[in-house]
Amino acid sequence: MDVSGVVAVRAVPALENLQAIFFDFDDALAQSLDIKAETFLSLFPERSDALRQQILAFFVHNTGRSRSTKLRHVYSEMLQEPLSEEALAALCQQFAERSMGAVIDSPEVAGADALLRLLQARSLPLFVVSGTPETELVQVIKARGMAGYFAGVRGTPVDKEINIAELLDTHRLDASRCLMVGDGRVDYIAAEHNRMPFVGVVKGANPFAEGIPVVADLTELQQILWGNLPPG
C-alpha cells in the first residue's frame, strides 16, 4: 500500500459543502482485512513458509484489487504455474465460502455506525466502492444491517475508479465536493483518478505520502468533518 511516490493532495471539503462520501469496505468500515488475508493464504496450504509470506505480503500490499486479479498474479508471477479459468473460479468460490461468515461478524472500524447515522441524518448520499465481488459485497452489507445507509454499493469485476466515475455521473456529483475514504493504495489512486479528495484509514504504520490526510478510525473522521480536529 505504499503510495510514497504519489504526491497529489486535495483538501477535505467542509461538511456543509460535501455532496457525497464514498467508502471502501475492508478496514474502512469493517475490520475485515486480516480475515481476508488469512483466507487468501489458506488457499496455498502446501507451499513453503517463505513463499506463503511472500504471498501474504503481496495480498496486503494490493488491497482493493479483485481477488481474481491477485490470484492470477500469484500463479503467473510467483508460482509460475498455469491457472485455468475453471481453477480460478473454484479458488474464488473457496475464498468466499471460507471468509464471508467471518466478514459479516467482524467488528466495525471504530465509529463507523455512529458516523453513518450522523451522515444519513444530514441526507448526505453515501456509497461503498470495494474490490470485493459486487454480489458478495451486497450480501455482506445486508447481513450486517448496513444497506439502509447507502445510495449505492459497487464492487468487482468493474475497477474501482470506473465504479466511482459511473456513480459520480449517475448522481450528478462534483468529485471535488465528494470524499473517498479507504485504507489502501488502490483507494487513493481511484480517488485521484477522479480528482476526488481522499482520507486514509490507517492502523499501524502510515503507508501514505506526506500530506495525505489520514485517520486512525471513523471517530477521528467524524471529528474532522465536524471541525473538531484538523486533518492528520
Q: Where are the domains of the chain?
A: 15-31+108-225, 33-105
Q: pTM to 2 decimals?
A: 0.91
Give dist(CA 228, CA 211) in Å, integer. 19
pLDDT at 229: 61
Give dist(CA 159, CA 139) in Å, integer. 19
In whole angstroms, how large is the CA radius of gyration of the chain? 17
Let me know: does 202 contact 214? Beta carbons within 8 Å. Answer: yes
The model's confidence at residue 203, banded by pLDDT at 50, 70 and 90, is confident
pLDDT tens-digit profile of 110-158?
999 999 999 999 999 999 999 999 999 999 999 999 999 999 999 999 9
Buried b (16+ CB within 10 A) or exposed e, 109-128: bebbbebbeebeeeebbbbb
Let me know: does 160 contact 187? Beta carbons within 8 Å. Answer: yes
Instruction: Give the residue carrying C-alpha cell 495480498.
Output: 59
The grid cell for 66 is 479483485
pLDDT tens-digit profile of 55-103?
999 998 888 788 999 999 999 999 999 999 999 999 999 999 999 999 9
Fold of 15-31+108-225: Rossmann fold (3.40.50)
